[in-house]
Each structure stands twice: as C-alpha cells, then as structure tokens.
Amino acid sequence: MLRRIPIAGLGLLLAVPALAHGAATEGDAASFDPFAGSIIVAAALAYGVGLRRAANGRRRLVPPLRAVSFMAGCAVFFAALASPLHSQADLYLAAHMVQHIVLVTVAPLLVLVGRPDLLILGVLPRRGRSSPARFARAALRSPTIAAAAHGIAIWAWHAPPLFDAALQNEALHALEHFSFVATALWFWAAVLAATRRASGRIEALIAVLATLIHGGILGALLAFSGRPLYPAYADEAALLGYAPLADQQLAGLIMWVPGGAFYLAVGLWIAFRLIGQETPPYSAAPSGKV
Amino acid sequence: MTAVRDLPNALPRPPGEEEALRRAWAAPKGIKVLSEINNSYIGLYYVSTAVFFFIFAGILALLIRAQLALPDSDVVSPDLYNQLFTMHGTVMMFLFAVPAVEAVGVLLLPNMLGARDLPFPRLSAYAFWAYFIGGTAFLGSLFLDVAPRAGWFMYPPLSGMEFTPDISADLWLLGIGFIEISAIAGAIEIIVGVLRTRAPGMTLGRMPVFGWAMLVFGAMIVFAFPSMIVATLLLELERAFDWPFFIAERGGDSLLWQHLFWFFGHPEVYIIFLPAAGMVSMMVPTIVRHGLVGYRLVVLALSATGLISFGLWVHHMFATGLPRIAMAFFSAAGMLVAIPSGIQVFAWIATFASGRFRPSAPAFFLLGALLVFVIGGLTGVMVAIVPFDQQVHDTFFIVAHLHYVLIGGMVMPFLGAIYYWTPAVSRKALSDRTGRIVAILFFTGVNVTFLPMHLTGLVGMPRRVYTYPEALGWGGLNLLSSLGAVIIAASVLLFLVDLTRNFRPTMRKTAGNVYGAGTLEWVATGINGFRSIPRVERREPLWADETLANEIEAGAWYLPNTATGHRETIVTSTVDARPQYILTLPGPGWSPVVAALFTAAFFLLLTVKATTIAAICGLIAVASILVWMWGADRGPRPAVPIGGGINLPIDIAGRHSHARLGTLVLMLVLSAIFAGLLFAYVYLWITDAAWPPAGIAPTSAGGVAGSALLLVAAAGLFLAAGRFLPRPGTGTGVLPSLGMGLSAIALLAASALDIWNLADAGVTPSGSAYGAAVFVIASGQALLALALAVVTGLLVAKALVGRINAERRLSFEVGRLLVLYAAGQGLVALVVIHLFPRIAA
C-alpha cells in the first residue's frame, strides 16, 4: 500500500486550500494554521516516499533539482495559506490578491516542475478505449481547455456578488480557493506537458499568452473601476480607515503587472524551447501519420 | 566536399517536365494579369501601392511643414491643416507602414521559406485589392474636403456626432475598419504560410529571422487589430444609430475608446517595427558575410517584444487622470520593452563586429536606421517616466520621439530593404551609388527635421496647432525643421529617379544574388519560385552548400514537376518541417478582385448613407466570395512521389490540414473581437453603477433557456451531419444537408429569440450605455449566425451536388469548426447578458 502514498499526498495537497480556510483565525495577524500546515507537510512527506520508491528502479525518475522544486512549491503554498498573509487577506483586497496570484502561479508551477505526475502515472488508466475516457484524457492534456477552465474560474469568482459571498461564507471561500488551485494545477500541468513535446509548444504558448491577456484585462478593470466593487472590503476599509479604491487599484495592478510578468516569463521560456537549435539531426522521411 | 551526394531526383530531368511546370504556373497576359493571384505579382503590386501611399503622405507632411515654417502663416486654413495632419498620420500608419511590411512578407516570404506560393493565394489577392481600392478612395476624401480631421487616433467626444457632424469621421471609421480586415486576412495567410509551407527540413530553428518576425507580426495582428475593429464599430454605431458608448450623460465613457484604441495602438508600433527588424536581421549578415550573432536570442527578443507590448497600452494615457499608483507600475513596465529592443540592436552590432563590413547602399541605410532608432528608443525611455511625460505630453517632443522610432525602426530599414531585395525581383539592381546618396540625404534630413523638434516641444509648442505667434520665439526651430523636410523630400525624389531608371520587374531573368546572401529567396526564379524544392539543413543554406542553387535549378530536389497539372507546393509539419502533403493551389481568377471591389464599395457607400446601393454591393461581394469558395477543396487524391523515395498524398482533410490551422487562427480573431465587446460591456459597468438602469425588467429566464437550447442544438446537428456524409459516389448528401440547414436555422433562431427577449424586457440600444453594450454583444452574435448561415448554404449546395462527401470533407470540417465556435460564443454571450445583471444588481 506504500505505493499509494504519493497519490494520497497529491490529493491532500489539493485539499489544502479548502481545509486551510476553515481553520484560519480571523483578524489574527500571527495566524499560524497547524492544520493546513500539517497537510502540506504530509503531502511533502508522501512525495518524498514516492521519490525513494522510484529511486529504487533502474534510473532516477525525478532529478534532485525537481524534487527541490516540489518542496519549494509546498513551502510557497504553506506561506500563502498558513501565514500572516492569510489573515491580512481578510483585511486588504490587495493582500488577498497577492495570495491568489501566488496560489495560481508560483506555487503550482513549482510543485509541478517536481513531476508529481511521474510518481502516480502507473495508477491512471492509460489505455482506456472508451470514447469518454479518451475524450477526458485529451481534455485533461489540452492547454486550451485547461486555460479556458482556469479563465472561467478566475473571472467567475471575481464577479462582485460571488467574491463577496465567499468573504462572508468560509465554505464558499474554501471552494473559491480550491477552484483556483485545482484549475491552476490543471492549467500548468497541461502547459508543461505540451511544452515537453515539440509539436505542443505553440498551443502551450497561445494558452499562456491568452491567460496573460485576459488576466491583465481583469486587473485593468479592477484598477480603473471608478468605485469599490467589493462591499465587504469597503466595510473593512471604513473600520480601518484606508481608501478602499486605492486598495482595489493596488489589487488590480498586482494582478496585472507582476502577475502578468510571471506569465510573460513562462511564455518566453516556452518560446525559447520552441525556437530550437539550428543543428539537431533531421531525416526527410515523411511523418508516419498524415 | 566534392563527394557526389544522393539527390532525391535523378538528373537530367525528363523532357517536358519543366515545360509542364511552367505551364501550370503561367501568368495570364494583357489586362488579365490583374487577375493573377500569385504572391510574386500580388507582392509587387502591394509594395508599389505602399510606396505610393508613403509618397502621398509625405507630400501632406511637406504641406504641414510649409505651413509651420514661419509664424502667423496662412499657407493652409486651420481646417485644412487639421485634415492634413490627420491624413498624414492615418495614411502613414494604416496605409503605408502596416501594409508595406505585410507586402514585403507576401512578396518574399514564400521564396525565403522554399514554398512556391502562399497557402491561400486568393486571400492575399483579396487583401491587396481591398487595401488598394479602399485606400485610394480614402485619399480621395482629401480632395472633396471631407477628409477626417480629428487626429489619427480619433478620440471621442471630438470625433462623436456632436462635434464632428459631417461624414469625415465615418469615412475614417469605416475606411480604416475595412483596411484592418484586409490586414487580418493577410496575417492569417502569413501565419499559415510560415508554419506550414516551409521547405522540408527547415525546422523552426533554421527559419530565416524574417519568417519569425512575420510570424510574430501575424500573431500580434490577430490579437491587436480586433480591438481596433471593436473600437471603430462602437464609435460608428454611436454615430449612425445613437448607441451611446462614449457619451457620458447616458452612461458611456469616452475613455473606453482610448483603452480600446491603445490596446491596439501600442502593439501596432511593434507590428510595424518587428518585421522591419526582421529585415535588418536578414541584411546585416549578408553585408558582413557572417551569420547573425545570437539568432535564438534575437528571435526570443522578437517574441518578447510582441508579448510585452500587449501590457503597455496604459502608458499612452498618462495624461488622462489615471490612478497615480497605476502610472507608477506602468512607468516601470514601460521601460521593460527596452530590453528586447536592446538585445536586437546589440546582436546587430555584434554581427557587424564579427564579420567584414562591406559598404553598400543597404548598409548605409541600416547604419543610419540604427542610430535614429536608438535615439528614438532613448526618448521613449524618457517619456516612460511619468512626470517627464506629463511635461511634454501633446507637444512636439512627442512628435519628434515617434518619428525617430518609426523612421529608424521601419522607414529606413524598409528603404534599405528595397535596395537590398530589388535584384531578386528586377532585371537590374538599383544604383548602389545613388542609394548611398539617398541614404545620406535621408539621414541628414531626418535629423535636421526632428532633432530640433525635441527642443520645440520642450519650450512648449503643442502638436496639432496650425500656427503660432512670432513672439513665442519658435520660428527658428520650426524653420530648421521645415528645411530638413525639404532635404528628406529631395532624397525621396532621388530614390524615385533611381527606381524609374533601374527598377524593371521581371519573373525570369532577375539580377540575382548580387550581395551574396545565403537564404533561399535568391534561388527562386520565375513565378513558380523554385524549379525543385530543396531540403534545408542550415540557416543559410546557400552559404553551407555552394552547389545547392544549381541542383535546385536543375530540378534535382523535391517536386520538380507538377503532380496534378495544377499549381502546387509542399505542406510540412509545423515545428520540424517534415513533408506531409502536396497542396494544390488555385490559378488566376477575377473573384478576389470583384469581391474586394464590392466590399470596398459597400463600406464607402455606407459612409455616405447610400444604404440600398451599399447593400447591393455587399451582396455582390458575398456572391463573388461564394464563387471562389465553390471551387475550393478539390478533395484528397492518392499519394505521388516527390523524389528521394518520399510519397505524399494530395490535398488532405483532417487534423493536419493547413486549412484547419487557418480556421483556428480565424477563430482566435473572432474570439478577440468578442472579448473586445465583453471588455466594453464590463468597462461601462465599472464606470456606471446603474446596471441595468432603472425601468428595465429582468429578461425572461425561459427565453434564455430557449436560446441556450437552440445553440446546443445547432452544434449537435452540425456534428451529427458529419456522421452521415455519404461515401464518394454513393447516394446523395440529403441527410447531412438537412442537419446543416437545421443547424443554421437554430443558430439564427437563438439570436432572434435573444434579441426579442431583450426588447421585451425594455432594453433599447440607444436608451443607455447599458442597452448599447448589451445590444452590441447580441447583434454581434446575430451577425455571426447570419454569416454562418451563408457558409452553411454553400456547404449544403456542395453536399447536394456531391462536392462534399466522407472523403472530400475539408470545407465541411472548416464549417463545422466555425459553427461550434459560434455556438460556444453564443452561450458565453447569454451568460454575460442575462446572468451578469442579475448577480450584479
């Protein structure tokens, strides 16, 4: 049963945001959530176990640097969900935005660079012949579909009524974070997988570019709105005595500029892979499938 | 390296083979040559037209400088002055800069890539003729005193009905909107051409840099131009039907225009610059006989510039009262773009330093361009600093900055490119000596004109004023600038003299590779380009292998014949360029010309509100496009050998078809237009709390559900139709035709039901910005449904006469993709229109 531990770890990791929120103490600047923290630690441990088991094979499945990346990703998830940032997010929209950006960019990408998928690959149905199974697999691997799902999650939750409802209701808030993290993991996994194939890089690049653009537009709308869009934060602002509009502008700009810079960097890395070298050997044989 | 290689096709070639190839590609004679759609012909027409517009807009600039040369001058009236600067900017940007680089792409790309033509020759013919006819008519407005006069970026409210009640603004909006469509058509053509028609073996890493530049150019047009189309559409709807998108009293916001315009306008600068930079990256290695230093970095820099440019539109709006914190972010981000531009400049300098410099006319232009562009870049960094920008905003400093950037970044490389590539298309090269004089004169003129202009701006002279009093002391600087303009004019005149004396376009006996370049365009001869299509193993194949040119010309490489008797080229895989199939291409025909003529007539007649004749012209345009689509998709045929033991099928359908890629790019364009409409909707909402305004009832949920069901049905019916396509030669296409027909009806009915639902709830497009934003989304969907109904009609007709079946299905597959897209867009539209106000209220 030891084999299953990494899967369980990944599952737990997915559940972190959902669970973490329930335990957060409101307004406590030094909130440290042992529950969320222990789940992330458990995920990291599970990954470590998987790594050891894989290392028993003939060749190393995941190089050390990638393992470090996974652990770093866990640490970033930890920092985003179980740290003062989390409690600040209840007070400032801008802090909440920083948390969201971290949850959908750096953290999942670092985790995925660690190739947790390799450790659980043997369990997934690889040869399902039924057309729904094939369709589901194609959808899971498609950067376009993943980007669309991720985009819908981001835009839908920023609709003021939903965003405000999530602020009032912890279960909804957990669902919000869960859908961000889950679709982000999906998006980055599909993008990374497509980038590993030479023929998938253009689609991966377009998916990243499209996300860069629509994320920027959403940030722009927050930054240029003439009024506060999220009443819950306006109330906090009245209590704490800061300008809600400035908070919202900062939040929009964080999403737009640093958030966009992250997608830009990944996009350029994909482009660099796409450009390729002058010299790789080539044979003029026609491709097998036409 | 004298070992005999295995060439794919044995020499000598059988008699008659070359003649058959030439016959398939022969251009018609006499007046019919205008119906030729091959890229070499269209490319030449295209470049010549662009140069003509350049000269025209240059003459306008001379008139401007004549007026400003002396204080209190009245060479032209204030109103004419407004028309002059508006037309100068508009023509230079929209009718010269973008089309000129696109034209060079059409002319040279296929030859650089080892293709015989672009993949959709009729599309580029259509794009060219639309541009030629529309652009010429647009110029004509100046002589009728109805030329646009609100500046090249047409800000409302100045360009709105209240302050520009005449047709001049409509002419700009419809004319430019229409030329944008032509640019998008060209971009789709270029993207597919670059990705799918490269010679076997020309992996992306071996593609000439100009190919990369044009790929980035095309991708940027796909994302940026739709924003401009949306902007012009909204303003025209406001002017023609009083839909108040930009009228503040009714919930509109004039800043919406600026956002849409600069979302296009900032990338536009790089859309112009990047192809020119690509040309420089082609010319510099030839001039110094050394491969480009940092090829991969240069290409990465091209891509980075393209990506970054989409995030920077706000820095054109520093003076519009944006949040201060936003300006801080964008001031920082704005400087970021200097990095990739710097990488390219340093790569050129390093290449110059690595090789042996040989002076020539193109080299003179490039050195001048480098200097001018760097100065423009430096003033660009200056205006990225907010306090500085607020000081010099709308002064002549900005005029100086943008001219340095555009002249150094595009005009001088373009002129150099004309000197450089003329021998590839003309019997004689241009005179190198004259070229050097032209370059020196031009460089001098530019600096005499625009260097003092920085000062003129710093001492406070605003742009777009028709005159100034002597007491302000701006006379000396302005006189100097006007003198410089005369020097530029002299150099352009000399350039024209050189063209007249030496430019003799020809297909067969070109002057050839006089500069000793290493890329394939120098081997291409004749309208078919290549006698045989080589396998490419290096970035500069002609340098790597000196015998290659002769082998190509002798027919020793791939496809030395015409396999079907039609024009053909080889389609290869996107990344590693493995040969996939033979694409047969259409020959000369009038349908693109007629379609372009009547599309132009349609838009121009709309500006003078001659709606009936406009409608008739529109119908003729649609009819001629249908005629051309009727002949498309000849159906797959069995594989034939192209040499070297490779057998390729002909004209395949399915996943690997180039037409599928073209359709996907078109879908990106459509979704970018749709995204622009959604942006307008949400932007108007964040600036106006009354959403919806009082007095509007909630829409009927049943109606929404009905529309949604109809959209799903439309998609399902079209998908089902694909399962019932008959085997070739068996039975008729009645069942699939029924499916497709019902699908089109469902798509239309969904839109009709939705519009009725909105009207029933009391939403009116002219009542408020809310109504306008909602209706523009709903009508956009309706228009798409209508267009697809026409497409479906064509497919039904094709299926009924047996031109579509289970194997010959390419046009069906294209239609299916578009219908699925339309159904998806319709569902998103329903969510936004009906769900959003419910939850936002």
Tell me what pLDDT residue B3 has.
45
Tell me what pLDDT residue B733 has.
84
Q: How confident is the model at residue A288 (pLDDT cuts 50, 70, 90)?
A: very low
Helices and strands of chain B, counted as H and E runs: 27, 4
Q: What is the pLDDT of residues A129-159, one digit of tens each?
A: 567 777 777 888 899 999 999 999 999 999 8
**CB-based contact B614:A254 (threshold 8 Å):** no
Q: Is the pLDDT of residue B156 over 80?
A: yes
Tell me what pLDDT residue B695 has.
83
Q: Is the pLDDT of residue B775 over 70?
A: yes
The distance from CA B358 to its chain's CA centroid, rounded to whole angstroms, is: 34
CATH architecture under which domain B38-502 falls: Up-down Bundle (1.20)
Q: Which amino acid is at B328?
A: A
Give the relative orientation of helices A143-158 and A170-196 as an angle to the nearest 10 degrees. Answer: 160
Distance from C-alpha of A146 to C-alpha of A238, rounded to nearest angstrom: 39
* Number of residues assigned to chain A: 290
A162 contacts in chain B (CB < 8 Å): 839
**CB-count exposure of residue A75 (10 Å: 0-12, 13-18, 19+):** middle
**CB-count exposure of residue B610 (10 Å: 0-12, 13-18, 19+):** middle
Residue whose token pair is 């002909």: B650
Q: 525-544 in B: which are within 8 Å (CB) of A?
A: 535, 537-539
**CB-based contact A208:A186 (threshold 8 Å):** no
Residue extents of the structural domains in chain A: 2-123+133-275
Q: Is the pLDDT of residue B51 over 90?
A: yes
Where on the phi/psi map is residue B633: left (φ > 0), alpha (ψ -120 to 50), or beta? left
Contact flag B329-A260 (C-beta cutoff 8 Å): no
Contact flag A221-B200 (C-beta cutoff 8 Å): no
Q: How confident is the model at residue B589 (pLDDT cuts 50, 70, 90)?
A: very high
* Cα four-point dihedral sign A249, A252, A256, A262: positive
B307 contacts in chain A (CB < 8 Å): 209, 212, 264, 267-268
Q: Which amino acid is at B761?
A: A
Nearest-CA neighbor of B519 among B64, B102, B210? B210
Lowest average pLDDT, out of A115-119, B5-9, B29-33, B580-584, goes to A115-119
Distance from C-alpha of B838 to C-alpha of B509, rounded to nearest angstrom: 70
B304-312: average pLDDT: 87
Tell me what pLDDT residue A17 has.
53
Point out the residue among A159, A226, A275 whose CB comes nearest to the CB of B204.
A275
DSSP one-letter code for B471: G
Distance from C-alpha of B841 to C-alpha of B838, rounded to nearest angstrom: 6
Point out the residue among B307, B332, B535 whose CB comes nearest to the CB of A264.
B307
Contact flag A256-B311 (C-beta cutoff 8 Å): yes
Distance from C-alpha of A232 to C-alpha of B170, rounded to nearest angstrom: 45
Distance from C-alpha of B649 to C-alpha of B582, rounded to nearest angstrom: 6
A213 contacts in chain B (CB < 8 Å): 223, 310
The distance from CA B345 to its chain's CA centroid, rounded to whole angstroms, is: 25
Nearest-CA neighbor of B378 among B358, B351, B397, B393? B397
Exposure class string for B360-393: b at 16+ Cβ within 10 A, else e: bbbbbbbbbbbbbbebbbebbeebbbbebbeebb
Q: What is the pLDDT of residues B721-748, one digit of tens each?
A: 999 999 887 777 899 999 999 999 999 9
Q: What is the pLDDT of residues B229-264, one digit of tens each?
A: 999 999 999 999 999 999 999 999 999 999 999 999
The distance from CA A169 to its chain's CA centroid, rounded to whole angstroms, is: 22
Tell me what pLDDT residue B527 has.
73
B473-482: average pLDDT: 96
Nearest-CA neighbor of B716 among B743, B737, B754? B743
* Chain A nearest-CA residue for B647: A286
Enter the CATH code of domain B658-840: 1.20.120.80
Where on the phi/psi map is residue B528: left (φ > 0), alpha (ψ -120 to 50), or beta? alpha
Q: Is the pLDDT of residue B634 over 90?
A: no
The distance from CA A64 to its chain's CA centroid, rounded to whole angstroms, is: 22
* Chain A nearest-CA residue for B824: A148
Point out the residue among A245, A268, A282 whose CB comes nearest to the CB of B576.
A282
B687 touches chain A (CB under 8 A): yes
Distance from C-alpha of A290 to C-alpha of B11, rounded to nearest angstrom: 29
**CB-based contact B409:B273 (threshold 8 Å):** yes
DSSP H or E stretch at residue B787? helix B769-800
Tell me what pLDDT residue B333 has.
82
Helices and strands of chain A, counted as H and E runs: 14, 0
Size of interface A-B (CB pairs under 8 A): 138
Q: Taking chain A, what is the end-to-end CA distance rounded to the nearest angstrom?
A: 44
A105-119: average pLDDT: 86
A198 contacts in chain B (CB < 8 Å): 575-576
* Cα four-point dihedral sign B696, B700, B705, B706: negative
Beta bridge partners of B648: B640
Distance from C-alpha of B555 to C-alpha of B17, rounded to nearest angstrom: 9
Q: What is the pLDDT of residues B756-772, one digit of tens each?
A: 999 999 999 999 999 99
Stronger pLDDT, B491 or B687, i.e. the higher one: B491
CA A188 to each of CA A150, B606, B668: distance values in angstroms, whole numbers, following the listed order: 10, 48, 21
Q: Taking chain B, what is the end-to-end CA distance rounded to the nearest angstrom?
A: 78
Distance from C-alpha of B758 to C-alpha of B749, rounded to nearest angstrom: 14
Stronger pLDDT, B651 or A17, i.e. the higher one: B651
Other Cβ atoms closer than 10 A to B349: 13
Q: Is the pLDDT of residue B118 over 80?
A: yes
Lowest average pLDDT, out of A278-287, B50-59, B107-116, goes to A278-287
Q: Which amino acid is at B418?
A: I
Contact flag A227-B689 (C-beta cutoff 8 Å): yes
Tell me what pLDDT residue B648 has.
95
What percentage of chain B reaches a pLDDT higher than 70? Answer: 99
Q: How confident is the model at residue A24 (pLDDT cuts 50, 70, 90)?
A: very low
B800-809: average pLDDT: 90
The distance from CA B202 to its chain's CA centroid, rounded to whole angstroms, is: 24
Contact flag B836-A159 (C-beta cutoff 8 Å): yes
Tell me what pLDDT residue B450 has.
98
B204 touches chain A (CB under 8 A): yes
CA A59 to each of CA A102, A192, B177, B718: distance values in angstroms, whole numbers, following the listed order: 33, 22, 59, 50
- Half-sphere exposure of residue B178, counting CA atoms within 13 Å on the CB side? 31
Other Cβ atoms closer than 10 A to B460: 15
Q: What is the pLDDT of residues A229-286, one digit of tens each?
A: 888 888 888 788 888 888 999 999 999 999 999 999 999 999 999 998 887 544 444 4
B772 touches chain A (CB under 8 A): no
- Closest approach of B840 to chain A, Cα-based (Å): 6
Distance from C-alpha of B237 to C-alpha of B746, rounded to nearest angstrom: 27
- Half-sphere exposure of residue B20, counting CA atoms within 13 Å on the CB side? 15
User: ipTM of this model?
Assistant: 0.87
Distance from C-alpha of B567 to C-alpha of B629, rounded to nearest angstrom: 17
Q: Is the pLDDT of residue B338 over 70?
A: yes
A211-217: average pLDDT: 90
What percentage of chain A reaches a pLDDT higher than 90? Answer: 34
* Coil, helix or strand at residue B582: strand
Nearest-CA neighbor of B196 among B718, B745, B652? B652
Nearest-CA neighbor of B707 among B822, B593, B839? B822
* Cα four-point dihedral sign B734, B737, B742, B745: negative
**CB-based contact B521:B108 (threshold 8 Å):** yes
CA B534 to each of CA A161, A283, A284, B30, B547: distance values in angstroms, whole numbers, following the listed order: 61, 13, 11, 33, 12
Q: Which residues contact B713 (CB under 8 A, 6 or more apart)?
A: B742, B743, B746
Q: Is the pLDDT of residue B497 over 80?
A: yes
Contact flag B329-A256 (C-beta cutoff 8 Å): yes
B652 contacts in chain A (CB < 8 Å): 290
Q: How confident is the model at residue A192 (pLDDT cuts 50, 70, 90)?
A: very high
Tell me what pLDDT residue A175 has.
87
Q: Which amino acid is at B528?
A: N
Give the relative orientation of helices A201-224 and A244-275 as an angle to the nearest 10 degrees. Answer: 170
Q: What is the pLDDT of residues B203-215, one digit of tens each?
A: 999 999 999 999 9
- Half-sphere exposure of residue B552, counting CA atoms within 13 Å on the CB side? 26
Where on the phi/psi map is residue B512: left (φ > 0), alpha (ψ -120 to 50), or beta? left
Three-class SS string for B136-174? HHHHHHHHHCCCCCCCCCCCCCCCCCCCCCCCHHHHHHH
Residue extents of the structural domains in chain B: 38-502, 539-650, 658-840
Q: Is the pLDDT of residue B293 over 50?
A: yes
B330 touches chain A (CB under 8 A): yes
Question: Whole-number mean pLDDT of chain B?
Answer: 93
Distance from C-alpha of B147 to C-alpha of B87, rounded to nearest angstrom: 7
Distance from C-alpha of B325 to C-alpha of A250, rounded to nearest angstrom: 7
Q: What is the pLDDT of residues B521-537, one digit of tens each?
A: 998 877 778 999 999 99
Distance from C-alpha of B837 to C-alpha of B777, rounded to nearest angstrom: 14
Q: How confident is the model at residue B322 (pLDDT cuts 50, 70, 90)?
A: confident
Tell me what pLDDT residue B841 has.
66
Q: Is the pLDDT of residue A121 over 70?
A: no
B807 touches chain A (CB under 8 A): no
